[in-house]
Structures are given as structure tokens and as C-alpha cells.
Structure 1
């Protein structure tokens, strides 16, 4: 009798639910940019008076299910666009559809709401920043990530040295960088693991920067321990343009972006454009840099079906330069060289990269999203450096050459589906990724004057495969509380052919790693959200290291957690704060400059991040980022456990002006505090405080201007500062004994540039 009663009760509940939902309707819609007609993702869609919210996806779509039949007021808001309200009626058992176009408008922080659908949204910070602080050079792309500091070793030739969350990331060891989903980091690179050169990106073509700090995102795998960032370039151009720049130190630059299809074709959801850049500068060093850079990019975008988007991108990049290298304090103090001088004036390099990227997004009739991406890069690199001068070879000097040729290809694919039952909705994403790097002639050699090869120290080929599967689930239990859980499995096969061995030898090792993620978000009200991020990430090691170590510690894990808050205490103030912790396991690190393997041991980092954005007036905005870190080695005694060059306190901030009447600009500062340069903190890398200025004038106003005049000043106060610093043992010519002290690259002095941009 109990079983029969339970069955009848369950049946009654199901029938009641069916009757309750029998006469409910559905509201769907798409949102696009009124000028480009491209879909807008991340638009907040609110059903006024109901408490229901949604965000548009990559195709600009949103959906509300189980709505009572009535007239609804639908509000649309997005950073950098004017908010609008539309009305539509939803009938019994019917689906209503709205097509919405948003018009660009000045940023208004009052329109921004905090939502469980936009969890821990540092993406929101990025969207605000890129609207208020237009990117004027490639370095500014990376500085859009709050707390990320950069240092240039070669005046724009090499990849930047990166600093984030208590990490000296070198050129990318623990931060994953990509452009339109295509990886930038080069694993097992001749100059060091994870080397990430972003100079193939034309700054004026960057549309947005997606990022997150910590190892908490399921589709971001290798190297994403301190965090990750993905630069998204423009799918289409609203207008063609030509930009000319000229500045101090014999600096010239020309940039252009040309629409290749007619306005009628673009209105039919097709677009194509060609972008190009040429740069030249002798720079501020005593030894002229003769820096040259060429960039070309072409992109085609089309709706090849009613529910399928295709984007094809091809680009090529080439750069060549001389650089002055790192110089020792004693050489400057003694007057041997000046602040911008050089010990070995024959340092320099040449690099190139050609990319092909195909992205296909399909929405099935049942509202499933399928993404496929195929990418290929051909990459070449040659760099001459001299860090120790005459330490090892007192006659010829210690100059080295690092060189490689690389083919990189891979695939990113995902399948996503959404479902709703009552007040609970969830999104399931399944993904697969593949990447293979094939290098030829990965080389470390002892050279002289950039022309003579004295000895090959390492020479071989790398064949490295990284394949991954992942599953990600986002469950919105209510409009206030959501859970994101994910699991990722990565497989690596590392192979190295040692061509210096007699006979040549080949070694290969394999290993896999599982990375779970769990993130919780609770929105107290539209002005307050709490979140907890937890997850495991990892950082692969150089193939030459793991094969030499017979596969030990190929994939040391990193375990992190963030406890944070996003709050809008006032309509025009947005604050994001987090306390974080990160633990890294033992790993072996390949030091490309020396060709040796060094164990780094276990480490832990903890700190606080604070980002604030405040709208002072309708046209004036202020921003502030504060970041603290306490990085320590866990395998060394107290007092001997500092992590060299790891930042302990950084801050950036400034004022941005957007008048809408032709004037715009920003005044910004960046501050990096003193930090240990060695393990016992007896040598200190000095901090710096530098200010920059950007001013623009458009006679016809920002929206419909024909041309824009710009002035960029780096280091407005002409501060003397050290951009990169290392505690290095070296010997100058004629010295009887080596000396260990700070070696540095001088930072940019007062550097002014004028620009003229013409639009049509």
C-alpha cells in the first residue's frame, strides 16, 4: 500500500507541474552592434519587475523560459552602449522573439549591475578599461590586466618580462596568453619555457581582453597558474583608417585598416578587412637600435548559414633589432658607460611569425553550441645576448646565440548545451584541445660579434604534444547563487632529439595530469557579490629538462584559491577585491640563457588584490589597482627563502577623460616597490614610479570624426628608472675577479610621439 500511495503522489506532482507549465511562454532574442551589425556578447538583459536576468552569448543570443503570458518590458545594458528598453508580449505556449541593436555611447558606470550570471567579473573591469583607455602600443595590451607588470629587455624586440601575483614570470612561464584563442606561449622555447611574444598583434585592432587570475578556468590549461589572458581582435572594422606616428629618437610608425567589402556586403553579414603596421626606431640607447617591425593581418567573417559563423584570419609578422643588453651598476657608477650605454653593442635579434586561424561556431536547432577552431603558426627566432660579458671567456667574451625554427598547429573544440527546470538552469560544456610543437635546430651556442660561432652548447629538435579533454558545468540555482565545477585531463608527450650526441639520440617521456575546479558565486543584491574560486593548474617543463630527468616532475601542479567580493557601494563606483593563495609543487626549470637545469623547489604565494573604477563626472573617470604578495620558497630556511625578483607590492591608476566633444585622454601612473633580487634579500631590485600621458582631439566629436590628433608621452616626469633588473655575476674586460651585483636595462626616458588618424 505504501508503494502504491507513493506512486500516486508522484504522479499527481508531475501532473500538477505539467499543468502549471502548460500555458507558459518563452522569450528569445539577439543583440547586435547597430553600426557593425555584429552580435554582442555579455549584454545584460533584464525583465523589468520580475528579477529575471540573462547574458547574451557569443552569438548575441539570450533566452527566458516559462514566462507567464503578459506584456514584458525588456531592458538591455552593456558597457560602452546606450541602454534601451523594449516591450513585447508573451502568449500562451508561444515563443516571442526580439531583435535589438545597441548604439555606442559614453561609458556610464551607473548602468552596470552585479549579477550571479556574470561571476567574479574582472572581464567587466577589462571592458571598462578598454573603452576609456584606448590601446596605443602593444605594451598597453598586457597592462589592461590589473596587477600585470611588464619589463622590456630590448626596446620592443624581445617578448616582455612579466610580473603578476608574486611571480617573476620571465617571458610567460606561469601565465597563459592567447590571441583569438590561438596560443602565444612557446613551450620548450630556445629562450625559456613559455616564451610569449605578443608583438605580432596590431594594437589598434584589439577589441577586448578576456582574463582571469588564478588556475580556475577549465578551458585554460598549461601555464595558467598565475592567470591567463586572451586578446580578441576586431571581427570587422566600423570604418577604414590610416594612422601616422612620429616621435623622438627617430621613431616612425604607420598603421592602416582597410575594409575590403562594400557596405551592402557588410549589411548581409559578411565582412573582410586588411590591417598593416610598419615601425622604425633608433630608440633612446646610446647604441642605435635600428628597430624594424612589419605586421600584416587579414580577416574574413561571414554567416555561412542561418546559425553558423565562420571567421578566417591570416597574419604575418617580422622584426629585427639591435639592443644594448643588461648593464652592471659598476660600469655606470665608474663612468665606463652612460645610463643608456652598452657593454656588448653587437647584441640583437630577428624573429618572425605567420599565423592561420579558422573559427567556426554553429547553433543547432535545439540550441546547442558547437565550436571548432584550427590554427597553425610558423615561427622563427634568433637572439644574441651577453649577460656575463667576460666571465667564462676572457678573450672572446660570453655572447650566446639562441635560435629555433618552429611549426605549431592545433585544435580547440567544444560543445555546449543549456537546460532549465523551474528556477534552476545549467550550462554543460564539453571540450577537446590538441597542440603539437615541432622545432628544428633549437640551439644554444657561444658566439662572438654576432657573426662567429665558437661552440655549440645545445642543438636538437623538440616534438611536444599536449592533448586535453575537459568538462565544465555552470549551475544557476537561483538568480543569486551559482556554482561552476569543472574537470580537465591533460596528456603530454615530450620528445627531444639531441643532435650533438654522437650518434644522435632521441628521448621521449609521457605524463598526464588531472585538474579539478570549483567556483561559487553568491549575489546578495545588484550591488554586492561574494565569490570563492578554487582550482588546480599546472606548468609544464621544457622537453629538454624532462627527458634529461627521465620524466620526473614533468607537470608539477599548482593549487590556488581566491575569496573575493564585487561591490557597488555607490552607483558610479565599482570595486573588486580578493584575498588569494597559491601553492606550487616541486619542478625543474630549464634556464635557456645558460643551458642548465635548476630545481626551484616548492613555493607558496599569498596576497590581496584590489581594483576600483569610479566615475567622477559624466566625462571623467578614475581607476586604481593595488596588489600585494608574499612569495616564499618552502624548501629553504627562513631568511634564505625569498623568491628573487618576485613583486611584493604594485599599483597602477589614473584619470581618463571622454568628453564626447572631441577631447579624450588619460594620465596614468604605475608603481613597482623594491623587491628582493636574491634568496636572502641582501641584494634589492629598486622600485620605480612612472607616469604616462595620452591626449586625443577629434574636431567633429568622437562618434563621427573624420580624423583624430594624438599625443602620447611615456615617462612624463622624465624619471630615471630601471625597467628590468637581475643579480648577476659578471666580469668586465680587464677585471681580475668577477663581481655579483645588479645588472639592469634602463627604462624609457621622456618619450613623446604625435599621431594623426584619418577615417572613412
Structure 2
């Protein structure tokens, strides 16, 4: 199958003579009426022809190979009024159309299932951003159906992620980006793929793109369970000041200011700055003293109607104290309460600065060329204590994980719409380079943050990843779309161990190829069948690779999925799939202990089900249900459970938007019980929670409140089966250690728009 795929891709690349030019065409551009900026992702239907397309980054679209005559176009986008245009085309001419779409009430009737158009569920999730309680951008990950997160260090540390039967830890099996900027940190001091999204201000997010499985040619390292891409706003419709206050000494201020004004938008440029400050003591017995400061600026310029320049700068700083995970026996014995601590000197600080430059160009032949360069400076220091006095009965088992990193990268892609055997062909090719220079990657044993008792690991890491991909999407008919792709990734790893008295810089390298093959068939305008398949991978920590003498560098993931996307009525969208994912090796560096822990081959399969339903013009319902069976292979039955892998999850709720300005939602989250160890003798108990939001929005202001855990349920957010010893205990005990989940948490907010 993959040999045929490769030949197909090469044929499309090396035989451009199959591309046919056509004289009669329609070219259009779609604008957001309020911000006067191009609107990418709008859906355009050339009615009575069966042809449809979406607008590109410039808001433009194109229909070729037309007969002379009159055509009706329907232009729609979720959250905007639909525009209908009549166009008359003549031989040898290109008819140009311009549309300005005003924002409007969300209507699921505007959602279209058509060849070449992405799943509408993704777009709807982006609109729901405003109606769900969020403490940070990391919370916005929960908008991905089936994705759960857990915090176990009070708020400053990146959250633990669960998706498709994976305990992803902090990012080992999910690819996260912001405006194309990678979030995952390779060979991180706290573990492979560590992904801290707290540098992203939630109010700056325009949309969220996501996909599950290893089926995407333009997604590389860590894309096994899936990917999530955040896109920030290019321009502000209004400037804004926002103040929030809540329980547990929680205070937050946000400002978003349009720098250049409306006249500059008319001239094709915009710029804004955004800032966020958060302080909270948290609901723990020991004050959290959590501070987070974010500054973000973005400049957007349209040049000569064929180039878009995006420049963004951001600075993030965070510091906090934490109570960490606590043993169940200490709570049962009354030694501490649910919100108490064994070692409340945990905590840390982290800083991140980003520079991101993107230039998108339309070439004379109509192709799109994208170039992106980015640079990140990142500093991290974390203090944790998971085992208390198990290893050191005198000083305790606190550890420090620390690193300083420079991350530099380039991404380039070329996209061309053409014709192959009189069928529409979308060709995309891309290359990229990422270089991580990590200084003083450290794991040390400490006491009260001040005293270093032992160095466990200390060294410098250099990691280089170069990639190239080629992707073809052939629209064989208005019903059938074939997508085939091939990706090449090359890695170079190097480690300088500072604890080795003799200088020795060890290195290893590895290359991997990842083919993809996907098929969509639209049975009717409201029913799509799809089949996805592909190979992905996740890289291992450089220290693992050196320790293992270059083996198990890039374990592969083999995925396949079959499903249906249906719109049985104008108001109902259903997405369901049956999937399977096999991993060659879950073999990672355990940063908490400085050891290598191989897990062997694994297999996961399951069912995903998502529903979006518009009950009335102002009331919406959604629900996501995910069932998974995760198992380790080559392990005796009954001992093949994968610790903390979720098996049953569900999320959903009701959202409403009234014409008088009232809007809000009430939502539930359910995570079922799951094994905490390999033989299922220790259980990590699940939970069912409800959250609520209510806002009153007017053109000049908004007031509202949000409640997390409306029923004040006692629940455990993060859970681990850990062996530990308290100071007075003679023998260690292995049992559930947990971080308590948020109790009833009320916040109020006031926003002013201008």
C-alpha cells in the first residue's frame, strides 16, 4: 500500500504536464466586516455544479474550468451571516467577487459537509471558547473531544494530559503548537515532550484546530494520539480591559489594545498588544503564592495584495509554591486534610520569550508559499517531592529539575491547486528545521529548595530535527477525496555529561519515514464516510538514547480509523469513529527519578462519538463519549494494564446565546475509574463534575461569573500509585498519592470594550 502511495506522490510531483489551465473562472475574496480583515476558512459553494471550496489565508477562493453563463454562490462561515452572490462569467475572463460577512448568531444549518472541507466539529469547538470556564490556555485543551487534563503542582507546572487511552504525561504523545510555534520541549528536565501552554493568553485565541491519530503529513514528532494547534487573532475587533476576582485570593487582569486603529486596517495592516496578570493563593492549606505575567504583541500586514506578514513577540514569567501530591493514608489518619501537604516547599519558576515571524505569499501561478522562522528562550526550575523520606530519611526526597534552552526553527510550505486528469488536485510540500540547545539540564536532590544534597544528572543537550513532507489531496469527484502523504524526519542527538570527569560528548542519529493514506466519501450532502491510516512516531529523550547506545530512538506508531460524519438534519451534527493505534515502544526517560523505564509494545483501540445539536435558535447541546481499551503487548493477561490510561471519558453540556445579551453554559466532565498499576489491583477513581458560566454582554461592556465544580464534589485530580515513606514510618508503603481537585470555585468578571 505504501509503495503505491509513494509512486502516486512522485507521479504528481514529476509530471506537471498533467496540470491543465482553464480560461473561464471565478476568483473571490471574503472579509470579516467588523475587523475589515480577510476571513480564511469560509466555505463557498458554487450551487447547481456540485463544486465547493474554502477561502485561503488571504480570504481568497477560486473556481476554474467553468462554462460561460450565470452562477449562484453561497458563502458561509460559522458565526457569520451567509452571503449569496450572482456571478456572470464570460469566455476568456476571470470574474472577481468581494464579500464582507457580518458576525451573526451561530447556526448549525450553515455547516456544510463537502469534499476538501475540514470537519466542522473543529470550527464549532473554536467558537465555544468563550462559553467554557478557563483558568489558562492549558484549560482550553479540554475543548478537544476526549481530552482531559490534570494539574498536580498548583497551577505553575504544565498539566498532565489524557487522550485516546494515553496517559500522555506532559506531552509525550500529542503535538501542540501556537501559530506554528512548537510547545513540546524535547529532552526536557521534567520529561520528554513537556508542554507548558501557560504563555498563551486565552483571550487572544481565535480558533483551535485538532486531529486525532498519526494521519497528517505536516505533523511530526509526538503526533501519535493526535495534535492541537492554537491560532491567535490577527487583529482585534475591539480593544478591551478585563478584571476577574474569585475565591482563594484569586485576581486576574487582562488588557488587549488595538495599536493602529481602524484606518490602518483599511490600509491592510493591524497591530495589537495583550497582557495578563494572575495571582492566586489557591485552595490548598499552604498558600500557593502563584504569580503569572504574560505580554504578547502581534503585527499583521497585507503587502501588495499577495503577501501577508505576521510578527509576534511574547514574554511569559511564572513562579509558585506547591503542596504536591499527598498519600491517601495521611489523609485517612487525619495527619493532614485533603488540601494539606507533606512537603509544602515544592514549587518553581519558569520563563519563556518567543519571536515568531511568518510570511505567506501568493505566487504568480496561484500557489501559496509560507515561510516561518521562530526563536524561543526558555528557563525552567521545578522542585518536587514524590516519595518524601523513602530515599533520604534525614533530608527528604525533594528534587530540583532545571534547564536553560534556546529553541530555533524554520518552517516552509508550498501549496498548489491544479488539475490532474481533469480532477482537482491540492499539492502541499514542506520542509522544516528545529534546533534545541539545552544548557545545564539538571536533576539534583535538594532540601527546602536551598540546599543541594546530591547531583543525579547534569549536562548539555543538542538536538536537531530536520523534516520534509509531500502531501497530495485529489478530489476525484464531488463525493470522493483521496489524500496521500509521505514524511521524512531526521534527528541528531548529542549529550555532554558534566558529571563525567573526562570530557566525552556522545551522539546518535536516526531517520524515519512516515506514510499516510486517507479517504473521504460523501454519500450525500449530509453524510461522509472516512478511512484514515498512517504511521507516526515520538522521539525519546536524548539521555535515554545515549544510555541505550542509540537503540529505540524513534518508536513508531501505527494507526487506522474508520468513521462517519453525519448531518441528518440542519440542526444536528454527529461524528463517530472506530480506531486502533499500536506503538512499538513506550520507552521514556522518567525525569522524576533520573532512570530509564521501558514499557514495551502497546495496543489501543476504541470508539469516539461526538454530537452537536441546536435545540433552538439560541440553545445548543453537545456531548462527546470516548471508550478505549489500552493494553500492553507481550505481557501476561491480567498484568497487561497500562497505568492511568483512561478507558471511559465523556464531556458535554448546554450553551445558550440570547439576543438580549445573556449567554452562558452548564457543562459536565466525566472520567471513569482506571487502573493505577499493571495488574489493576490499585484503582485511580474517576469523577463527575459540573461547571457553569453566565455572562451579560453589551457592545460596550460585559459582566459575568463562572463556577467550577458547582456541586462542590470531593475529587482527585491527579493520581499515582507511588511508593513513599513518611518521616516516622519504618517501612515504605505503595498506594494512591493524589492532588485534590478544585472545590466549588466562584469567579466574577467585568470587561470594558472600546
TM-score, length basis structure 1: 0.95
Find the aligned partners of 2:583 and 2:289 in 1 and give their Cα distance: 41
2:622 matched residue in structure 1 = 623
Q: 1:671-727: CA deviations, max 9, x gaps? A: 0000000000000000000110111002x3xxxx10000101110000000000000
- The 3-state SS of whatever aligns with 1:71 is strand
2:116 matched residue in structure 1 = 117
Find the aligned partners of 1:308 and 1:112 in 2 and give their Cα distance: 29
1:520 matched residue in structure 2 = 519
2:24 matched residue in structure 1 = 25
Q: How does 1:74-113 map to 2 (within 5 A)?
A: 74-113=73-112
1:319 matched residue in structure 2 = 318
Q: Using the TM superposition, give the Cα deviation of residue 112 of structure 1 relative to its aligned residue in structure 2, in angstroms.
A: 1.2
Does 2:723 correspond to 1:729? yes
Does 2:601 correspond to 1:602? yes
Instruction: After superposing the two structures, state which structure 1 stretch, 85-94 or 683-692, moved more.
Output: 85-94
Q: How does 1:227-376 map to 2 (within 5 A)?
A: 227-376=226-375
Q: 1:217 to 1:22 in 2, by over 3 A?
A: closer
Q: Is the 8 A contact 1:120 1:521 kept in 2?
A: no
Does 2:429 correspond to 1:430? yes
Q: Using the TM superposition, give the Cα deviation of residue 612 of structure 1 relative to its aligned residue in structure 2, in angstroms.
A: 0.3
Q: Is the 8 A contact 1:52 1:479 kept in 2?
A: yes
1:5 matched residue in structure 2 = none
Find the aligned partners of 2:342 and 2:34 in 1 and give their Cα distance: 54
Report how many aligned residue pairs link the two structures.
736
Q: Using the TM superposition, give the Cα deviation of residue 121 of structure 1 relative to its aligned residue in structure 2, in angstroms.
A: 4.9
Q: Is the 8 A contact 2:424 2:475 kept in 1?
A: yes
Find the aligned partners of 2:726 and 2:637 in 1 and give their Cα distance: 34
Does 2:405 correspond to 1:411? no
- The 3-state SS of whatever aligns with 1:653 is strand
| Superposed structure 1 runs of 4+ greater than 2 Å apart | 21-24, 119-140, 420-423
Q: 1:160-213: CA deviations, max 9, x gaps? A: 000000000000000000000000000000000000000000001100001100
2:6 matched residue in structure 1 = none
Q: How does 1:456-495 map to 2 (within 5 A)?
A: 456-495=455-494
Q: Using the TM superposition, give the Cα deviation of residue 116 of structure 1 relative to its aligned residue in structure 2, in angstroms.
A: 1.7
Find the aligned partners of 2:695 and 2:555 in 1 and give their Cα distance: 47
1:9 matched residue in structure 2 = none
Find the aligned partners of 1:531 and 1:128 in 2 and give their Cα distance: 25
Q: Using the TM superposition, give the Cα deviation of residue 53 of structure 1 relative to its aligned residue in structure 2, in angstroms.
A: 1.1
Find the aligned partners of 1:269 and 1:133 in 2 and give their Cα distance: 33
Q: How does 1:458-607 map to 2 (within 5 A)?
A: 458-607=457-606
Q: Using the TM superposition, give the Cα deviation of residue 460 of structure 1 relative to its aligned residue in structure 2, in angstroms.
A: 0.3
- The 3-state SS of whatever aligns with 2:549 is coil
Q: 1:555 to 1:236 in 2, by over 3 A?
A: same
Q: 1:653-676: CA deviations, max 9, x gaps? A: 000011132100010000000000
Q: How does 1:46-65 map to 2 (within 5 A)?
A: 46-65=45-64
Find the aligned partners of 1:212 and 1:23 in 2 and give their Cα distance: 35
Find the aligned partners of 1:198 and 1:244 in 2 and give their Cα distance: 21
- The 3-state SS of whatever aligns with 1:631 is strand
Find the aligned partners of 2:22 and 2:375 in 1 and give their Cα distance: 51
Find the aligned partners of 1:559 and 1:531 in 2 and give their Cα distance: 17
Find the aligned partners of 2:650 and 2:330 in 1 and give their Cα distance: 31
1:400 matched residue in structure 2 = 399
Q: Is the 8 A contact 1:258 1:275 kept in 2?
A: yes
2:9 matched residue in structure 1 = none
Instruction: After superposing the two structures, state which structure 1 stretch, 619-628 or 39-48, moved more.
Output: 39-48
Q: Is the 8 A contact 2:149 2:162 kept in 1?
A: yes
Instruction: After superposing the two structures, state which structure 1 stretch, 302-311 or 664-673, moved more.
Output: 302-311
1:444 matched residue in structure 2 = 443
2:739 equivalent among 728, 745, 751: 745
Find the aligned partners of 2:27 and 2:419 in 1 and give their Cα distance: 14
Q: Using the TM superposition, give the Cα deviation of residue 587 of structure 1 relative to its aligned residue in structure 2, in angstroms.
A: 4.6
TM-score, length basis structure 2: 0.96
Find the aligned partners of 1:319 and 1:80 in 2 and give their Cα distance: 35
Does 2:754 correspond to 1:755? no
Instruction: After superposing the two structures, state which structure 1 stretch, 362-371 or 124-133, moved more.
Output: 124-133
1:714 matched residue in structure 2 = 708
Q: Using the TM superposition, give the Cα deviation of residue 32 of structure 1 relative to its aligned residue in structure 2, in angstroms.
A: 1.3
- Structure 2 unaligned regions, length at least 5: 1-17
Q: 1:246-270: CA deviations, max 9, x gaps? A: 1001110000000110221121111
Q: Using the TM superposition, give the Cα deviation of residue 305 of structure 1 relative to its aligned residue in structure 2, in angstroms.
A: 2.5
2:8 matched residue in structure 1 = none
Q: Using the TM superposition, give the Cα deviation of residue 304 of structure 1 relative to its aligned residue in structure 2, in angstroms.
A: 2.5
Q: Is the 8 A contact 2:407 2:437 kept in 1?
A: yes
Q: 1:99-126: CA deviations, max 9, x gaps? A: 1111101110112121122255542343
Q: 1:436 to 1:544 in 2, by over 3 A?
A: same
Instruction: After superposing the two structures, state which structure 1 stretch, 584-593 or 281-290, moved more.
Output: 584-593
Find the aligned partners of 2:270 and 2:103 in 1 and give their Cα distance: 20
Find the aligned partners of 1:461 and 1:140 in 2 and give their Cα distance: 32
- The 3-state SS of whatever aligns with 2:88 is strand
Q: Using the TM superposition, give the Cα deviation of residue 548 of structure 1 relative to its aligned residue in structure 2, in angstroms.
A: 1.3
Find the aligned partners of 2:377 and 2:159 in 1 and give their Cα distance: 21
Find the aligned partners of 2:39 and 2:560 in 1 and give their Cα distance: 31
- The 3-state SS of whatever aligns with 2:414 is strand
- The 3-state SS of whatever aligns with 1:286 is coil
- The 3-state SS of whatever aligns with 2:64 is strand
Find the aligned partners of 1:128 and 1:111 in 2 and give their Cα distance: 14
Q: Is the 8 A contact 1:136 1:204 kept in 2?
A: no
Does 2:178 correspond to 1:184? no
1:384 matched residue in structure 2 = 383
Find the aligned partners of 1:663 and 1:134 in 2 and give their Cα distance: 16
Q: Is the 8 A contact 2:129 2:140 kept in 1?
A: no
Find the aligned partners of 2:112 and 2:262 in 1 and give their Cα distance: 35
Find the aligned partners of 2:123 and 2:323 in 1 and give their Cα distance: 40
Find the aligned partners of 1:28 and 1:326 in 2 and give their Cα distance: 59
Q: Is the 8 A contact 1:536 1:557 kept in 2?
A: yes
Q: 1:617 to 1:191 in 2, by over 3 A?
A: same
Find the aligned partners of 2:323 and 2:134 in 1 and give their Cα distance: 27
Find the aligned partners of 1:460 and 1:234 in 2 and give their Cα distance: 39
Q: 1:194 to 1:597 in 2, by over 3 A?
A: same
Find the aligned partners of 1:357 and 1:754 in 2 and give their Cα distance: 34
Find the aligned partners of 1:708 and 1:632 in 2 and give their Cα distance: 48
Q: 1:131 to 1:76 in 2, by over 3 A?
A: farther
Instruction: After superposing the two structures, state which structure 1 stretch, 223-232 or 656-665, moved more.
Output: 656-665
Find the aligned partners of 1:446 and 1:421 in 2 and give their Cα distance: 62
- The 3-state SS of whatever aligns with 1:30 is strand
Q: Is the 8 A contact 1:116 1:529 kept in 2?
A: no
Find the aligned partners of 2:558 and 2:124 in 1 and give their Cα distance: 25
- Structure 1 unaligned regions, length at least 5: 1-17
Q: Is the 8 A contact 2:133 2:691 kept in 1?
A: no
Q: Is the 8 A contact 2:126 2:206 kept in 1?
A: no
Instruction: After superposing the two structures, state which structure 1 stretch, 657-666 or 739-748, moved more.
Output: 657-666
Does 2:637 correspond to 1:638? yes
Instruction: After superposing the two structures, state which structure 1 stretch, 272-281 or 420-429, moved more.
Output: 420-429
Q: Is the 8 A contact 1:77 1:111 kept in 2?
A: yes
